[in-house]
Every structure is written in C-alpha cells, then in structure tokens.
Amino acid sequence: MFDNKTDFKKEFSNRLIQSYGTTVEDTHPTDRLLVLGQMIRDYASLNWKETKVAERKQEAKQVYYFSMEFLLGKMMTNNLKNLGIYDMVVEGLKDLGISYDELAGRERDAGLGNGGLGRLAACFMDSAASENLPINGNCIRYQSGFFHQAINEQGEQVERPDMWLRNGNPWEIRKIKHAVDVRFYGNVEVWSDDKGDLHFHRVNTEHVLAVPYDVPMIGANTEMVNTLRLWAAEPADVSPPWKNYQQYLSEVNEICEKLYPDDSTPAGKYLRLKQQYF
C-alpha cells in the first residue's frame, strides 16, 4: 500500500517488474494501465473488506440490483478522485515520465451497457456508495456490450463487436468459490413418500457454471465500497451426453457473448430468455 508519492512510485515500479519482468521505461502503456488499475483496486480493498464486515456485524438490510446492463464508462479517474489520491498518482506518474492523461485515455469502456437503462443503473450504484447505502449490483459479464461502426470494401456500414476484455479488466476479481450451478431444460419427476408428502426432482438438465467477477464501486467522500458482481458463463464439469460437446460449448459461450442479441428470430428470442434466466 502507498500513502505518499514516493511510496506510489516505488510500488508502481515494483509491480511492473513483478508482473512483466521489465523496467518502467520498457513496458507497454497497456501494461502500465493494467497495473495502475490493479493498484487502485487494491488500495480500495481495505475499505471494501471493512464495508462487508460492518454490514454483517450490523445485520444491515441490503439492496440487490439486477439489471441487464450497467453503463459504467471509464472508471480510472473517478475512482482516483473518490479515493482522494488523484493528484498524488498524476504527479507520481509524471516523475516516472508517464502522462496520466495518455494512460487514462487507453482505458476501455466496460462493455456492459449501451443505453439509458445501463447509465441509470451505473448512477444508482455510484450514488448509493457515496450515500453509504449498501447495494449489490448483478449483471452478465458480456464479452462485447458495444459495437464499432465501420465501412467495408463495398462501402456499406457494418457493425463489429468491441472486445473490451481482450487486454483484461483491472477492476474485477474472479471469485470461483462463489460459482453457481445453473441448470437449463430438463423435466421434473414427482413422487410421494410413506407419509404422502410430494417430492419434486429435476432431471435431464444441462448444467452451466456461473462464475462471478466482483468489481468495487467506490463512493465519494466516504469509506463505503459496494460490489458490482458480473457473472460469466463457463462449461460445467458434466456436459450433456445427448449433445455434441462443441455444440454445448458454443451454447454456453453465447450466453455472455453480447448484450441484446438479435431477437428478430425465434433463436434470438430464446437466447435473450436464457440470458435473463442465467
């Protein structure tokens, strides 16, 4: 942890060496951005932990906010200012010959939303943390929530996915221990015991592993840090024996492939329903 500019520069340099085995001067700007984001996330981790401990101790009621999208925008500058270390970091990077503005400009917008619903959800999360309100966001960890517009060789406008996770997301922490087994399809077997009580059991289901990635939502002028939990779909240990594994894998991947898939076809409508159930 760092408390002043000197400590920040030392830790930043050491983390670059530990992560990439090279000096500050020889690292790529993307590497620097990832390390800086991880440092900010870790800086907030103590308050993040204390927030959870306090909520458990007080048995406080909490809000769970489920939304198909969270339009967060770029988080670097906002998090630095909310933590009160913006000037320290900017000056420390300058001493190392790094422009903060150039570095922050490389941050990718989280591809988790593309409209008013997502922006409203993100504002709720930000405001709740700043007002010391315990709220937990839940969303799908989309591979591409946005798209790029481009002109192809025929002069036509085309849409291309924005693969925002290609270089990694420094704000998230994978929480495999909290993974959940999500079951699709199947049928229900019903039977009664000796007392006449009915019992129900789902069989012939397809299993998908929902793996959470936690992102800290840092409040302004407070020590409150809430959690946005992003769920990624991964293949389960047991694949359906009645289906080709490649088909199963493809169907698992498409759950988190994009925000709002085309629903002009029955298959598209079906996929949206699977996303909402997931």
| Mean pLDDT in residue range 50-70 | 88
**Greatest Cα-to-Cα distance within the chain, rounded to the nearest angstrom:** 78
- How far from the centroid of its chain's Cα atoms is residue 41's Cα? 13
Distance CA 198, CA 232 (A): 35
Helix axes 76-83 and 86-95, enclosed angle (nearest 10): 120
Nearest residue to 72 via CA among 4, 32, 125? 125
- Tell me what pLDDT residue 211 has: 95
Segment 240-274, tens digit of pLDDT: 878 888 888 888 899 998 888 778 888 888 889 89
**pLDDT-based confidence at residue 41 (cuts at 50, 70, 90):** very high
Residues in the chain, total: 278
| Burial class of residue 254 (count of CB atoms within 10 Å of its CB; 0-12, 13-18, 19+) | middle
Nearest residue to 139 via CA among 129, 125, 127, 126? 125
Token duo for residue 19: 């992560």
Segment 169-189, tens digit of pLDDT: 999 999 999 999 999 888 888
pTM: 0.87
Segment 196-245, tens digit of pLDDT: 788 888 888 889 999 999 999 998 888 889 999 999 999 988 878 788 88
Distance CA 106, CA 36 (A): 12
CATH assignment at residue 243: 3.40.50.2000
Distance CA 259, CA 157 (A): 20
Nearest residue to 171 via CA among 242, 97, 228? 228
- Tell me what pLDDT residue 145 has: 67
As a 3-state breakdown, the chain gives helix, strand, coil percent values, each rounded to 5, of 40, 25, 35
Q: What range does the domain containing 252 cover? A: 5-277
Spell out the residues 6+ positions from residue 236 whose beta carbon is closer than 8 angstroms to its own.
181, 207, 208, 209
Distance CA 237, CA 69 (A): 28
**Whole-angstrom distance between the N-terminal and C-terminal Cα of the chain?**
37
In 82-154, the DSSP E strands lie at 135-140, 147-151
Distance CA 232, CA 230 (A): 7
- Considering its fold, how many domains does the chain have in total? 1
Contact 151, 106 (CB under 8 A): no
Give yes or no for residue 143 having a pLDDT over 80: yes
| Average pLDDT of the chain, as a whole number | 87
Bridge partners, residue 149, by sequence: 159
- Tell me what pLDDT residue 210 has: 94
Q: Phi and psi dihedrals of 199, rounded to 5?
A: -130, 145
Distance CA 110, CA 59 (A): 32
